[in-house]
Amino acid sequence: MKRRVVITGLGVVTPLGVGVEASWLSLCQGRSGIGPVARFDASPFRTKIAGEVNGFNPTDFMTSKLVRRSSRFIHYAIAAAQMAVDDAGLTIDMANNDHVGTSVGTAMGGVESLEKNQELVLKGAYNQISPFFIPSFICNMAVGQVAIYFGARGPNMCSVTACASGTHAVGDAFQAIQRGEAEVMIAGGSEAAINPVVFAGLDVLKVMSARNDEPGKASRPFDKDRDGFVISEGAAMVILEEMEFALERGARIYAEVLGYGHNSDAYHITAPDPGGEGAAACMEMALNDAAISTDKVDYINAHGTSTALNDLSETRAIKSVFGEYSRRIPVSANKSVTGHLWAGSGALEIVFSVLTIVRGIIPPTANYQTPDPECDLDYVPNTAREEKVDIVLSNSFGFGSTNGTLIVSRFPSP
């Protein structure tokens, strides 16, 4: 039998706030973290808004030396991991560190470090290149630094699967514990890609919202007038533990991870399969892994990016998997308030899914004003809903036709 895996710690750094409580409160109130870009001059671009992290001081979590020698996606990852470890009441030492692993996803890595050092190369200032450029840039350095920071010597994995990276990182960690490779995994996603190079690339793709005059209303998943996603940044981490290990140390258990699915549409580099076939198969994989029927799912935390194609494809996939029950199951999109944190989103949505179970509140899909006839499910429009939730299914889909679905449940599972 597969070993059971539970969630015992949560930590986040988001545009809604630093820490779980601040972010959860803003989410439930539908208070957006999106505003005009402040980090650089966005005036040349069609889109001029983003979900930037504010009020974050990295030296609250790490030494100033480490801050100087690493990039923001690493800062966010370490901070979120520290909050999660503290929340779990977990001690990592020589007695257990071989059994504690790390799994952190990112889509872009330390892209601002690449941008800065490339400018030096173009100027011919090779002697000014930082010796910490590569270690602050490459994608696996968030998970590497988290492992070093905590002395975690177990499995060490990095998922680089665009918008599904965080979900895949948590799913991979879940399976590592199931297989007996670790007793504990620090898992999640981190992203810090709000910079001119990434912005320019997304701008020419015309996938970002250009509702610059109303930043807080720009991300509007499933709404008929949606015009693209809003890029955001931040990190989210969870502590996963083998159930008996957690019980023996007297850990508080938030929820249990029941199932994981991951596959590919094999369709297009940026667009989802219009019929949602790959996404549907991914959800079915997770349901089969969890050994539950569709009518046991109480809530779907949607990928819900606010793009025309993604929202329609996901709606069709949900209908395909859940049939008539899809009309009764609440579906909401956290990105309506957070924006799209890329790798951070999937992990953050797992944190919010867990809190939905624990707090008995389904977060709303904010900015839902004009129904789309083709997106006709219960999207929990604009107002949070008090409701007992035992099982949540959470979706993430990414560029490159990649999909990920996780299912979490109340503990002990029904």
What is the CATH number for 232?
3.40.47.10
- pLDDT recorded at residue 414: 42
Query: Measured between alpha carbons, how far is 314 from 308 in angstroms, rounded to an integer?
Result: 10
Burial 223-261 (b: 16+ CB within 10 A, else e): beebbbbbbbbbbbbbbbbbbebbeebebebbbbbbbbb
Q: Does any domain span residue 211?
A: yes
Dist CA 89 CA 252 (whole Å)? 9
Within-domain flag for 160: yes
Mean pLDDT of 289-294: 98
Output phi, psi for 63, to 5 deg: -70, 155
Q: Tell me, what's the pLDDT at 310?
A: 97
Inside any domain, residue 23? yes
**Residue 239 contacts residue 90 (beta carbons within 8 Å):** yes
340 is catalytic: yes
The structural domain count of the chain equals 2
- What's the rounded Cα separation, in Å, for the pair 362 and 133? 42
The amino acid sitting at 368 is Y
Residues 232 and 293 in one domain: no
Q: How far is Cα 133 from Cα 114, in angstroms, rounded to an integer?
A: 7
The Cα–Cα gap between 217 and 366 comes to 8
Co-location of 139 and 268 in the same domain: no
Strand (E) or helix (H) holding 158: strand 156-159
Residue 1 has pLDDT above 80, yes or no: no
pLDDT reported for residue 139? 97
Domain that holds residue 231: 5-248
In a domain, 414, yes or no: no
- Two tokens, residue 317: 């996939």
Annotated catalytic residue within 28, 139, 158, 163: 163
Residue 69: inside a domain: yes
Structure confidence by residue, pLDDT tens digits, 181-208: 999 999 999 999 999 999 999 999 999 9
Are 302 and 239 members of one domain? no
State residue 276 phi and psi, 5-degree precision: 75, 20
The predicted-structure confidence for 89-98, as pLDDT tens digits, reads as follows 999 999 999 9
Average pLDDT estimate for 147-156: 98
CA torsion sign for 174, 177, 179, 181 is: positive
Residues 238 and 340 occupy one common structural domain: no
Domain-embedded: residue 255: no
Structural domain ending residue among the three candidates 220, 248, 276: 248
Residue 332 has what pLDDT?
98
Q: Is residue 383 part of a domain?
A: yes
| Mean pLDDT of the residues in the chain | 97
User: How does residue 413 score in pLDDT terms, banded at 50, 70 and 90?
Assistant: low
Pair 235, 297 in one domain: no
Asked whether residue 79 falls in the same domain as residue 189, the answer is: yes
> What is the spatial distance between Cα 166 and Cα 406, in angstroms, rounded to a whole number?
11
In the chain, what percentage of residues exceed pLDDT 70?
A: 100
266 & 240 share domain: no
Instruction: Please tell me which residue in 75, 168, 262, 303 is annotated as part of the active site.
Output: 303
DSSP 42-70: -TTSS--EEB---S--GGGTS-HHHHHTS
C-alpha 48, offset from chain centre: 23
For the stretch 210-266, pLDDT in tens is 999 999 999 999 999 999 999 999 999 999 999 999 999 999 999 999 999 999 999
Averaged pLDDT for residues 149-166:
98
The CA-CA-CA angle for residues 187, 193, 194, to 5°, reads 135
pLDDT at 412: 84
Note whether 112 and 145 are same-domain residues. yes
- Say whether both 233 and 266 belong to one domain: no
pLDDT of residue 143: 98
242 with 274, same domain: the answer is: no
Give the domain-ending residue among 248, 283, 313.
Answer: 248
Looking at the fold, whether 212 and 322 belong to one and the same domain comes out as no
Give catalytic status of residue 163 as yes or no.
Answer: yes
DSSP-derived secondary structure for 239-259: EEEEHHHHHHTT----EEEEE
Domain boundary among 218, 248, 278: 248
On whether residue 256 sits in a domain, the answer given is no
Residue 274 sits in the same domain as residue 157: no
Neighbours of 345 (CB within 10 A): 32
**Selected residue with higher pLDDT from 413 and 385:** 385
What 3-state class would DSSP assign to 289? helix
